[in-house]
Structure 1
Amino acid sequence: MLTLIKNIDRLNKVIFYFIGIMLIVMSATIAYQVFSRFTLGASLSWSEELARYLMAWVVFMGAALAIRKGELIGVEAIVDLSSDSIKKVLKLLVCIVCIAFSIFLIVKGIEMVQVVENQRSPAMRIPMTYVYASIPVSGVLMALNSIVVAIELFRKDGEK
């Protein structure tokens, strides 16, 4: 189990840097679009589309990382008022719900990718499967991170 956790954490580190690169590209594209529109008087036809598609990837991949770090928004009032044993059960329940939602994302995401299989984006002419693939890919990552969180809930304190 320790190997699985370490491998998922390594994968999460790669995803973290991938998200950073996407944010840099998105910010640079938007900045250049503003510059070209107001300074050069010419507008890029593809910049808004690229920024939108990158944002979709950033949000979905970021959600997977947030699950692992325990940074998703949640209501903690009930958990804070509970005993330690009840806290573990509630956190495990949250992990199970996250895994179920991840499976839903995987299944529906694959269906959506199949629906847009022959479509291309209007401005950049890239296959829309690249855009919609963010849904099932992040679903897999969310499920993996939820499983790791659930495992860590019940590991002994001495195990690292």
Structure 2
Amino acid sequence: MSEPTLLRRVDQALELVRGLCMAIASTALAVLILSFGWLVFGRYVLNATPTWVEQLALLLICYIAFLGAAVGVREDTHIGVTLFRDMVPINARKSLIILVDIGLCIFGATMLIAGITLMRFGWDTRLPMLNIPETFRTLAITSCGGLVMLFSGLRALRRCLSFADWSPEIEFQDV
């Protein structure tokens, strides 16, 4: 069964989003390493500890973790318990895998909604030492939720559309 053109285009767009997430998370990791290098240099060489590094590190860790988690869902490398999935017959296994994708989609939507609430609440609160709104920290949660919802929702849709042709054994043979 051939995939609809719209679904392919959305998938290509989400692949670009995945790449952007990886680029942001990688850049955040590099900045984290450089800032801790500056912290060590400031503390032991200049004898003047930069106090903003801890707050910047907490902010960067949020983006690294949440964007990395969203990419893991996109690449289908998130942590999963496969014991029950592997014990059931093939058609039940297909249905179970689709249900997991739908569950992830619902979880992502919940994160998105809760993240938006946190962003609204934190706009007037400032992060210490950085003097930026707390919203910048909760933006990572909100982004992750939206991306998890999109990534898993599209995968569930794709699997539903090709239910008869799709084989979990082929997809998960390298896992």
| TM > 0.5 fold call | yes
- Structure 1 segments of 4 or more deviating over 6 A? none
Whether 2:70 is the aligned partner of 1:64: answer: yes
Whether 2:116 is the aligned partner of 1:136: answer: no
Give the distance between the partners of 1:17 and 1:84, measured in 2 at CA: 37
Judge conservation of contact 1:95–1:149 (CA < 8 Å) in 2: yes
- Give the match's secondary structure for 2:112: helix
Whether 2:32 is the aligned partner of 1:10: answer: no
C-alpha displacement at 1:82, in angstroms?
2.3
C-alpha displacement at 1:23, in angstroms?
0.6
Matched residue, 1:119: 125
Q: Which amino acid aligns with 2:159?
A: L
C-alpha displacement at 1:98, in angstroms?
0.8
Q: How many residues align?
A: 157
C-alpha displacement at 1:94, in angstroms?
0.8
Give the distance between the partners of 1:40 and 1:88, measured in 2 at CA: 60
- Which has the bigger relative contact order, CA under 8 A and spacing at least 6? 1
Give the distance between the partners of 2:155 and 2:67, measured in 1 at CA: 17
TM-score, normalized by length of structure 1?
A: 0.91
Identical positions, percent? 25
Give the distance between the partners of 1:151 and 1:28, measured in 2 at CA: 42
Q: Which amino acid aligns with 1:71?
A: T
Whether 2:113 is the aligned partner of 1:110: answer: no
Query: Which of residues 31, 56, 62 is equivalent to 1:25?
Result: 31
Unaligned runs of 5+ in 2: 1-6, 167-175
Query: Which of residues 74, 77, 80 is equivalent to 1:74?
Result: 80
- Give the match's secondary structure for 2:45: helix
- Give the match's secondary structure for 1:127: coil
C-alpha displacement at 1:114, in angstroms?
1.1
RMSD: 1.4
TM-score, normalized by length of structure 2?
A: 0.84
Give the distance between the partners of 1:84 and 1:26, measured in 2 at CA: 45
Give the distance between the partners of 1:86 and 1:6, measured in 2 at CA: 29
Judge conservation of contact 1:68–1:148 (CA < 8 Å) in 2: no
